[in-house]
Structure 1
């Protein structure tokens, strides 16, 4: 993963001259006069961990798996939001961990947590590092140091129960690795978020990820039947049946907990048979409202395909089309048909599918050209979606002035759906401050319009205040009580998630 951007540096993309001209004319985008920092320019403080802590960690995982070198520390600094990348491009390594530790077993994870609790060292569980909400950037005041717990060595398919259609997998597996292991047995998770190439299974669970085929396969938390978790308070096994009435379902204390309550070391996941085929189709709707209504009918009649995504007029126009483009991918039966839309055939949908993991590379190219590009997402019930859509757009336009705001619907339920926004504006003199002010106003607008602060990106640090408002004082008290019970010294990802 590129240290100051997304993915494979060899796949980085540039912008055509006509695109640069359009950005300048429409948004006032001008190239930055400041050259981005090189890898050797990143400013790091000296590692502050005591010799006792370092020696203790080395005795647990091996000396070569406790890294304090600049390469490891820089590559584990922050996530991949636009503010994260802007800071890295400035050479700001102030959030770098003091050490990166690579455990190879549940026991080693538990022992690392024990040492760090005893010595008041903050621990950041780390999968692919793809968080866009500050999910791997802890608050470090009051701690003697920060350790990033990189779980990449926990990368095995432990077992498969084909009778129950369950697979036990470890959290360090990236999306493509997990699919390769399962596909060899004719199985799939069917979970393909945009971060799929780099994010890990543990990250999918910890952030309650939702993939592009969620209409057919469900969200990742729908797939989790059981969990093994290491916490500072002890080891925890969760989930022994598909459903249970034995009290509240405590799996959901861990799912979405973003590493603040424990470290997932193994998961029992529901799997499906590999589809024999997937076919694509595309439709043009006259308006976003008309396409959204067609989606609602499909969801409530339980006729959803595996993949379904509707772009609003602006997103469709930026993609070179008109009206509102709907992409459909189905794996069985007959495709949905829409009487009030124009069928465009398979080509637009196949083109989208071919490039669906490439969006972050384009984001990096736009940042390099002098634009600020960021995404945000929310969800609401069907009756509230029009109001939420307008509220977010108006808040962004009021805060940023000359701005392009694109939106799509891509995760459907019988009672509602998500909205995913992409925002492009000129960076200006202080892009960080400008975006943070716009984000704060938009978070407020989402709450007032009845939306949730996140459908699948998570809470992290960036959404923590809005999350506290959403769950209210009683909910905040519950979250703090869980944190105190599972992590008495507060070492796990401090400042993330828990208000």
Structure 2
């Protein structure tokens, strides 16, 4: 299944993706889980409703957006509770309503959002901006009572396509597949394909500094943004008069990655490119992760750089491509003509071409992987991911130390894990590392993972990595982020929040 085959999915509480699509754990994987000591957990519990907004609060919300665009029923509020990290899903399964909003509103314009934010500030109502809802770092769990979720799904238009400048103005509620369809109708592509593509949105991409699988060719989403509009309780911030400017610090970069703490991004102006007429994918086998890493670095630094460049370590290769167990697998992809110079670099570095079949299999299957997490959780496995980035010279040590921290922490808890790792985003000076962890759940799986995550985060910091490459900060990484930027950096961000959101209603507890 490829990007053009996917439609927008309205995610369901506690399970990923299209509710009509259910994945099954392969028999070989079930046998492997038994070796990890996995046993089935108790059945999921239903949430118990609690009081919603007061009559006065409800009257205000309906006056702004209309009664038909305000939801206070349990189903709607539960569907907007938390995101899609494994702890979020486990809390859903336990019926934990902590953080459930009091109301969900669906504004239809930038001006309605301005009115909502100003009125919520007057009434001390916390606001959680919500579009795709795919956060995996606790980015949708405001730490205050009386919470209103502002769902941007009605802001779903391609406002303008400037074919001379090759820019598109998209409203923040446009989902990934819808954005591609709107642009494809005019012959263009955004080229942004994160694994959350089915459910994530333009606004979420911007707010979390998203990075898609084709980042080697198209860049991260924050590199695509040339302008944006931000609604705050104090008014509108409009940014981006030109592609680049020397008129002071680039405030676009201050808003990108702000995760709703400074305002609600209502639209963005993004760079677009002509839709490719051909695509080529290919798999390459290397004797070791280190050998493959050298090859990938050469491509990132000296070229020719493919559109997609991904390296799986031996553990991940053995699970996803058992025919090549004991090897490290590199996937390359081109939007446009095949570049034989890339193959020459990989061959010189010791790589063996596996042809298009392996590359195409990866491409068509990559959006199915998140669907496996739910049945694995059903069986009693704990499955979660974390990611980081650093400079090339630090990658081997960072990978080793994070892996060791995860193995030790979870083994000490009686649940030895399988830890897999891949590189999926590369730069001239460094790359990302993305870890996937599988082990048995113990009786308190949320605390089990929090303990392991804390140890891994400390290892990331000690090895010189960043706490997040593309998942963002949310609540889960807030303390580590504060340590990374230091007290003065935190104070600077707080000063910005004090100006734009003096009452502190926007996503409280998130980012800072």
| Same fold? TM cut 0.5 | yes
Q: Deviations over 1:197-235 (max 9, x none)?
A: 100000000000000000000000001010111011211
Equivalent residue, structure 2, for 1:73: 77
**How many Å separate the matches in 2 of 1:304 and 1:16?**
35
Q: Deviations over 1:9-66 (max 9, x none)?
A: 21111223332122111x111112x1112xxx2123211x222221111111000111
Equivalent residue, structure 1, for 2:501: 487
SS at match of 1:57: helix
1:297-446 matched pairs, under 5 angstroms: 297-319=298-320, 320=322, 321-322=324-325, 323-333=327-337, 334-335=339-340, 336-337=342-343, 338-339=346-347, 340-401=350-411, 402-446=416-460
Task: Tell me whether 1:84 sits opposite 2:88 in the alignment.
Answer: yes
**How many Å separate the matches in 2 of 1:332 and 1:108?**
42
Equivalent in 34, 38, 44 of residue 49 of structure 2: 44
Equivalent residue, structure 1, for 2:233: 232
Equivalent in 134, 156, 163 of residue 130 of structure 1: 134
SS at match of 1:297: helix
Structure 2 unaligned segments of length 5 or more: list them: 1-10
Equivalent residue, structure 2, for 1:461: 475
Equivalent residue, structure 1, for 2:174: 173
CA deviation after TM superposition for structure 1 residue 427, in Å: 0.3
Task: Tell me whether 1:96 sits opposite 2:105 in the alignment.
Answer: no
**How many Å separate the matches in 2 of 1:463 and 1:272?**
34
Equivalent residue, structure 2, for 1:288: 289
Equivalent residue, structure 2, for 1:28: 37
CA deviation after TM superposition for structure 1 residue 282, in Å: 0.7
Q: Deviations over 1:135-154 (max 9, x none)?
A: 011101xx5x1000000000
SS at match of 2:193: coil
Q: Deviations over 1:468-487 (max 9, x none)?
A: 00000110111111110110
Q: Deviations over 1:179-203 (max 9, x none)?
A: 0000000000000000001000000
CA RMSD in angstroms comes to: 0.9
SS at match of 1:446: helix
CA deviation after TM superposition for structure 1 residue 348, in Å: 1.1
Contact 1:45–1:94 (Cα < 8 Å) also in 2: no
SS at match of 1:112: helix
CA deviation after TM superposition for structure 1 residue 94, in Å: 2.1
**How many Å separate the matches in 1 of 2:368 and 2:133?**
17
Q: Deviations over 1:132-172 (max 9, x none)?
A: 000011101xx5x1000000000000011000000101000
**How many Å separate the matches in 2 of 1:486 and 1:5?**
35
SS at match of 1:414: coil
Equivalent residue, structure 1, for 2:6: none
Equivalent residue, structure 2, for 1:151: 152
**How many Å separate the matches in 2 of 1:197 and 1:343?**
31
Q: Deviations over 1:323-381 (max 9, x none)?
A: 00111111234141122111100111111111111111111111110000000000000
Contact 1:53–1:115 (Cα < 8 Å) also in 2: no
**How many Å separate the matches in 1 of 2:72 and 2:336?**
51
**How many Å separate the matches in 2 of 1:278 and 1:11?**
27
* TM-score of the two chains, using structure 1 as the length reference: 0.97
SS at match of 1:11: coil
1:243-258 matched pairs, under 5 angstroms: 243-258=244-259
**How many Å separate the matches in 1 of 2:172 and 2:335?**
28
Equivalent residue, structure 2, for 1:139: 143
CA deviation after TM superposition for structure 1 residue 176, in Å: 0.2
Equivalent in 471, 474, 485 of residue 471 of structure 1: 485
SS at match of 2:20: helix
**How many Å separate the matches in 2 of 1:165 and 1:55?**
43
**How many Å separate the matches in 1 of 2:360 and 2:272?**
25
**How many Å separate the matches in 2 of 1:265 and 1:31?**
43
**How many Å separate the matches in 1 of 2:122 and 2:186?**
44
